[in-house]
Structure 1
Amino acid sequence: MTASTSPVLDVRRADTRPHTRIEWLDSHHSFSFGHHYDPDNTHHGVLMVNNDDIVAPGTGFDTHPHRDMEIVTWVLQGSLVHQDSIGHNGVIYPGLAQRMSAGTGILHSEKNDAWRRQDAADSSADPVHFVQMWVVPDEAGVTPGYEQLEIDDELLSGGLVPVASGMDAYRDHSAIRIRNKYAAMHVARLRADGVPQTLPDAPFLHVFVARGEASLEGVGVLREGDAVRVTGGGGQRLGTTSAAEVIVWEMHATIGR
């Protein structure tokens, strides 16, 4: 009889992340990004980017290209204006999920200037805080696309809610569709009086505490910005004694396999 193997829980603390700080941007990277290259930290499962970004008002990312990538943006605080070369534009805010499929090529910009689109008299002094995640698609060269969906009401349950998915298992859920049939992104707004959540059973999981403080079975306390890369199976319980917003990627494949 072959002995079962316990899942590997690789804890990555917030203060160990590569950090980009310029006049208008404060960004922490969970994986190699830009000039922060580490050949041993390029991805987990099919997740290649998990950038925790704070952008000053009236500034942001000017128009730039992407190709063959599924890009999911989740705003935690403030609002972000998206515009792209296939004609989509709008304001992303907390509880509104957004997915952009770069496919054969797309140009887009992301700015913290939503006040302009709301006809406000004065510019907002509030930064926008968001997490942007990049997943490798399971098919290259597809037609570029865009989708957004309001999911805020479902998050009131305090449970893990599928927010972005390419998996058949979540086809009946209110989730934006990504072009990878092996991956799904869940978000939980955990409450102190809520029932602890059980992580999905998958070969690869990425657990990221976006806000607050949570506790994961087998690890203990996770603070804001901490992450856990799980390999070899889920099922761990996730809870909080205060409040927390946690992003969980469930992945049934990895790059190169």
Structure 2
Amino acid sequence: MNNTVIHPANTRGHANHGWLDAHHTFSFASYYDPNRVQFGVLRVLNDDIIAPGMGFGTHPHDNMEIITIPLEGDLAHKDSMGNTEVIKFGDVQVMSAGTGIQHSEFNPNHDQRTNLLQIWVFPKHRNVEPRYQQITLNVTDRHNQFQQVLSPNADDDGVWIHQDAWFHMSNMDAGTSLEYKRKLEGNGLYVFVIKGNVTVDGQDLSQRDGMGFTNFEKITFEATSDAEILLMEVPMQQ
């Protein structure tokens, strides 16, 4: 029997700082809900809109796998490892903070906003050497199928992190059905609907809704409209 948790979009934490309009699926910054601290090793799922020309000044991280997925616009990144990059829609970026890094993130455009997902995953090993990885994916490869965008394996599709986790994305046409099979026994699956409407194992979900599954082997997805989804399979034990 699947054990599930549902997080409707309108129950997320919300902070509008003017230059930053942020929604938090899990407890973050001034938003705290003891029932929504994390889902297994998935610690943060932030849906951030950054105003033109604005961003996060230099700040530190350690012992966290930090994944950034731009949904709209661009993000300029600079870090203490010497990386200076711009990430765009279709890109996926990961930083293994490990023993410690500092970075800044800005919207480099002065005429459009940036919308991104920032995801934090607790690592399998502490105090690893910090690393940076950025790739550009062919978005057409997720049309009515699951495109792997993250895994534990450096030689596999997508970016890799220091954790037994797999992320997939799909753009589903209305009426399409897909099935996801668990990669590793004991892992859970957190589903985030980026756009549209999807029925997930019989549960209707809409834009920005989230749903977590534990004790599962496979999950069925049916798009009731054109939809975009992100699947995050993660260990449930830290």
Task: Give the alignment's TM-score, normalised by structure 1.
Answer: 0.86
Which of 186, 189, 196 is 1:212 aligned to? 196
Alignment of 1:163-202 (within 5 A): 163-166=149-152, 173-180=156-163, 182-192=164-174, 194=176, 196-201=177-182
For residue 172 of structure 2, give the secondary structure of its aligned residue in structure 1.
Answer: strand
Find the residue that maps to 1:15 and give its secondary structure. helix
Shift of 1:40: 2.4
Higher strand residue share: 2
- Aligned partner of 1:3 in structure 2 is none
2:142–2:169 CA contact under 8 A, matched in 1: no
Q: Partners in 2 of 1:49 and 1:156 — Cα distance?
A: 24
Map 1:133-172 onto structure 2 (within 5 A). 133-153=119-139, 155-166=141-152
Aligned to 2:232: 249
2:64/2:98 contact within 8 Å kept: yes
Match of 2:48 among 36, 48, 53: 53
List aligned pairs for 1:56-95, cutoff 5 A.
Answer: 56-95=51-90
Change (3 A) 1:172 1:64: closer
Question: Structure 1 pair 253/156, CA: closer, same or farther in 2 (3 Å)?
Answer: closer
Structure 2, unpaired ranges of 5+? none
1:9 to partner: Cα distance: 1.9
Shift of the alpha carbon at 1:111? 0.6
Shift of the alpha carbon at 1:154? 5.2
Percent identity for Structure 1 against Structure 2: 37
The separation in 2 between residues aligned to 1:253 and 1:230, in whole angstroms, is 10
User: Are residues 1:31 and 2:46 paired?
Assistant: no
Distance 1:192 1:50, change over 3 A: same
Q: Over aligned residue pairs, what C-alpha RMSD do you find?
A: 1.6
Q: Distance in 2 between matches of 1:156 and 1:233?
A: 23
The runs of at least 4 consecutive aligned structure 1 residues that moved more than 6 Å come to: none
CA distance in 2, matches of 1:29, 1:188: 22
Whether the aligned pair in 1 keeps the contact of 2:151 and 2:157 (CA below 8 Å) is no
Task: Name the SS for the 1:158 alignment partner.
Answer: coil
Structure exhibiting the larger radius of gyration computed from Cα positions: 1
Say which SS state the counterpart of residue 35 (structure 1) adopts: coil
1:234–1:127 Cα change, 3 Å: farther
Q: How many residues align?
A: 235
SS in 1 for 2:196: strand
CA contact (8 A) 1:151 1:174 kept: no
